[in-house]
Amino acid sequence: MKVLHVIGSLAPRDGGPTVAIHGMAPALAALGHEVTIATTNADGPRETLDVPVDSPVRAHGVTYHYFERTVDGSWGLSLPLARWLTLHAGDFDVIEVHGLFVFATIAGCRAARQAGVPYIVRPLGMLDPWSLRQHAWKKQPYVRFIERRHLANAAAIHVTSESEADGVRSLGFGDRVHVIPLGVSAVAPTRQRAASTGDTKLLFLSRLHPKKNLPLLLEALRDARNRGARLTLTVAGSGTAAYRAELERTVKDLGLDDVVRFVGQVQGADKDALLAAADAFVLLSSQENFGIAVAEALAVGLPVVISDQVALAPDVQAAGAGLVVPIDAGAAADALVTIDANPERRLEMGRRATQLVGEKYSWDRTARALADLFTTLVPGAAKLRRTDPVPA
């Protein structure tokens, strides 16, 4: 089967969506499918990736086509991408379009419809009620006049958790929702974990973005330390210079200079080393439609402290692989005190974490579920030329 993925950017700073594509596509290729990715060279609103835009790139069995962004900005206008999609969409059996509120989605969905190729939309959590409330003044009309058409004409909508599925169903598209969780790539061997006798080392590994609630985590850390917990925190991830500076001021104001360090974006061996050195992972996000960073931490045997708005929270709680808390500094501080005071319990949570990932989250499992979905859609390609009215 010839599969095309369309996504606005594969910049490392984009976090989960980039990680997901780099795991999903090679796993599909490993099953024998011909997998292509069409994207842009965008790296944030103004910078560009150092990638060739005049020829395809092959990596891990996947063909990547990068196209120049026409103008700067987060919307990602790329006329070369649109032209290529118009010319080549018909070469594929099925197309998966990743993300909403970006130009690549318009170009991908339109090209698929014109070519009569079934397409799948993966909303990346952007239809979650919390997400839609952010900048609602522009998102609500965008959904009404643009994205509803894309969703209405999609052969399927790929979500990665039941909580994400609920958001899509609430908009009236429950008939085409398919829940297919993401996976975790193979990771480098970690050190043999043992009950720590020194400071408990916490790790935050995600984008530096307001929805991740880092100020709340810092407040909880301060409170837990005031109660005697011996905790340090490593913050790994990229964000705007202004937001990082704001976080660093918060660290100073809370008197945490000596226990919090920022290490910026990490990848590969550097990320593996941080995961190996940590005693627990923390993420108190207001919304996560899956949480790949959480799954990566679980995979290497790290207990997690996560908010109940992270989609993996029910599985973590059921497996006893960590502590799930509401978005509240006091509740988070209680969890951090518990994590620090019970090293043997941390180890047991870590063992359960590894078991959870082994049972539920692998890219091979994701790829097989996607391939099964694609197979059901391909025979009905002609039906994609819809004439029914788009819901208001």
Q: Per mean pLDDT, which range of 41-50, 66-75, 374-383 is the poorest?
A: 374-383
Is 128 in contact with 168 (CB distance < 8 Å)? no
Residues with Cβ < 8 Å from 30, sequence gap 6 or more?
61, 364, 367
How are the residues of the chain apportioned to helix, strand and coil, as percentages rounded to the nearest 5?
45, 20, 35
| pLDDT per residue as tens digits for the range 315-325 | 999 999 999 99
At CA 230, angle to CA 227 and CA 233, rounded to 5?
Answer: 110
pLDDT tens digits for range 149-170? 999 999 999 999 999 999 999 9
Are the beta carbons of 8 and 103 closer than 8 angstroms? yes
- How far apart CA 219 and CA 196 sit, in angstroms, is 24
Residue 309 carries which side chain, given as an amino acid letter? Q
pLDDT category at 389 given cuts 50, 70, 90 is very low
Q: Which residues contact 82 (CB under 8 A, 6 or more apart)?
A: 103, 107, 111
Beta-strand relationship, 62-67 and 94-98: unpaired
Segment 61-88 shows an average pLDDT of 96
What CA–CA distances, in Å, run from 360 to 31, 269, 355?
Answer: 19, 25, 9
Q: Do 323 and 305 meet the contact criterion of CB atoms below 8 Å apart?
A: yes
Question: 122: helix, coil or strand?
Answer: strand
Which residues sit opposite 232 in a β-bridge? 201
pLDDT digits (tens, 9 = 90+) for 106-155: 999 999 999 999 999 999 999 999 899 989 999 999 999 999 999 999 99
pLDDT of residue 378: 87
CA 174 to chain centroid = 22
Structure tokens at 68: 């120049």
Kindly report the number of other CB atoms within 10 A of residue 65's CB atom. 21
Helix boundaries (H) for the chain: 16-30, 79-88, 103-115, 129-133, 136-142, 148-152, 162-169, 214-226, 241-253, 268-277, 292-299, 313-319, 329-341, 343-360, 363-377
Given this model, what pLDDT does residue 260 score? Answer: 98
Q: Regarding beta strands 119-122 and 156-159, do their DSSP bridges make them parallel or antiparallel, or are they unpaired?
A: parallel
pLDDT tens digit sequence for 173-207:
999 999 999 999 765 445 455 555 689 999 999 99
Average pLDDT, the chain: 92
Q: Let me know: does 72 contact 9? Beta carbons within 8 Å.
A: no
Residue 185: its pLDDT value, please? Answer: 78
Q: Structural domains in the chain?
A: 2-183+363-384 (3.40.50.2000), 200-360 (3.40.50.2000)
- Which residues on adjacent β-strands are paired with residue 157? 121, 177
Encoded tokens for 116: 């009569």
Whether residue 61 is predicted with pLDDT greater than 60 in this model: the reply is: yes
- Give whole-number Cα distances, 337 to 185, 253, 302, in Å: 31, 21, 16
